[in-house]
Structure 1
Amino acid sequence: MAALTIFCAMLLAGSALHKAMARERLAAAASRLVGASPALGPVLLVLAGAVELIAAVCLLIEPLRVAGGIAATVLWAGYTLMLVRRRGETLDCGCDLNARAKPVTAVLAARPAVLSALAAFVSTLPAAPVTLDAPFAAAGLLALYLGASELLAIPRPAWRTV
């Protein structure tokens, strides 16, 4: 189960890095998502990125893993609530690596909800040694997650009914 913990930490750290690299775009997205003034966007972005980075580090340090899991659970639950509140609107929520204005649907809100549940699950796991295969399994999970995210970004595919 160490792979799930490492996956969550990698996703959180990657999200924090993404916020640092695409500050302008994501600050605007953060203020729109929260419904705050655009001037507050950079503050919200730094706050979210800091929580993501702290949670990622905590997940990798065994005595702090539970605290990291709880922080990630609360953060992703917050993202879920903000997306649900914006359901039906079209905006760039900052959920993807690329700038894309898209309708906020139940599927889009389900992603952080599932991640929140996963982080809650990770915080309840007993301590497990990190074996050599765990980081590779986590990297594979991250690749699958990012690939699924790109598939969900395809506008009106024939195979999607939601």
Structure 2
Amino acid sequence: MAALALFCAALLAASAVHKALERGRLIEATARLTGVSPVPAQLLLIHAGTLELVAAGCLLVPPLRTAGAVIAALVWSSYALALARRRGETLDCGCDLAARSKPVTTAIVLRAAGLAVLAGIVALTPDTPFTLDAPFAAAGLLALYLGASELLAIPAPQWKAA
């Protein structure tokens, strides 16, 4: 389970860095996603990024891993709820590294909910020390996650139901 905790930490840290580097785009995305004006959206974005960094840091320290996983589950659950409210709309939700408007589908909502479930699994499993294979397994999970995100961004693939 250390690999899963490391995957969650890497994804959370990357998400926080993404919020800092793309803050103009993500303030707008946060405003549209939450239905607030840009000033509160900026505060929400800072708050989310801070929580992501705190959760990532806690996930890396075995005695704090449960706390980090609970914070991560709450953050990802909040994202899932915000996305569910906008399901069917077309917008740039800020979920990807690339700026692109796309329909908010059930799959995108389930992606955020699935991450919350993974964090819940980390919170409920006993702490295990990081082993040599954990970073490689976490990197593999991260690659699969990013690949799945790219597949979800395809506008009208033949394998997707209309």
Residues 1:70 and 2:75 aligned together: no
Displacement of 1:37: 0.8
Residues 1:14 and 2:3 aligned together: no
Displacement of 1:39: 2.1
1:99-138 Cα distance to aligned partner (Å, 9 max, x none): 1111111111000100000000101111112110101110
RMSD (CA atoms): 0.9
Match of 2:58 in 1: 58
Match of 2:144 in 1: 144
Once residues 111 and 49 of structure 1 are traced to their aligned partners in structure 2, the CA distance between those partners, rounded to angstroms, is 19
Structure 1 counterpart of 2:114, one-letter code: V
1:2-151 equivalences in 2 (<5 Å): 2-151=2-151
Displacement of 1:28: 0.8
Displacement of 1:94: 0.3
Displacement of 1:88: 1.2
Structure 1 counterpart of 2:75, one-letter code: L
Give unpaired runs (5+ residues) of structure 2: none
Once residues 55 and 31 of structure 2 are traced to their aligned partners in structure 1, the CA distance between those partners, rounded to angstroms, is 22
Sequence identity (%):
61
TM-score of the superposition, structure 1-length normalised? 0.97
TM-score of the superposition, structure 2-length normalised? 0.97
Once residues 86 and 151 of structure 2 are traced to their aligned partners in structure 1, the CA distance between those partners, rounded to angstroms, is 21
Once residues 7 and 58 of structure 1 are traced to their aligned partners in structure 2, the CA distance between those partners, rounded to angstroms, is 13
Structure 1 counterpart of 2:103, one-letter code: P
- Runs (4 or more) in structure 1 with deviation over 2 Å come to none
3-state DSSP class of the match of 2:131? coil
**Count of matched residue positions in the alignment of Structure 1 and Structure 2:** 162
3-state DSSP class of the match of 1:8? helix
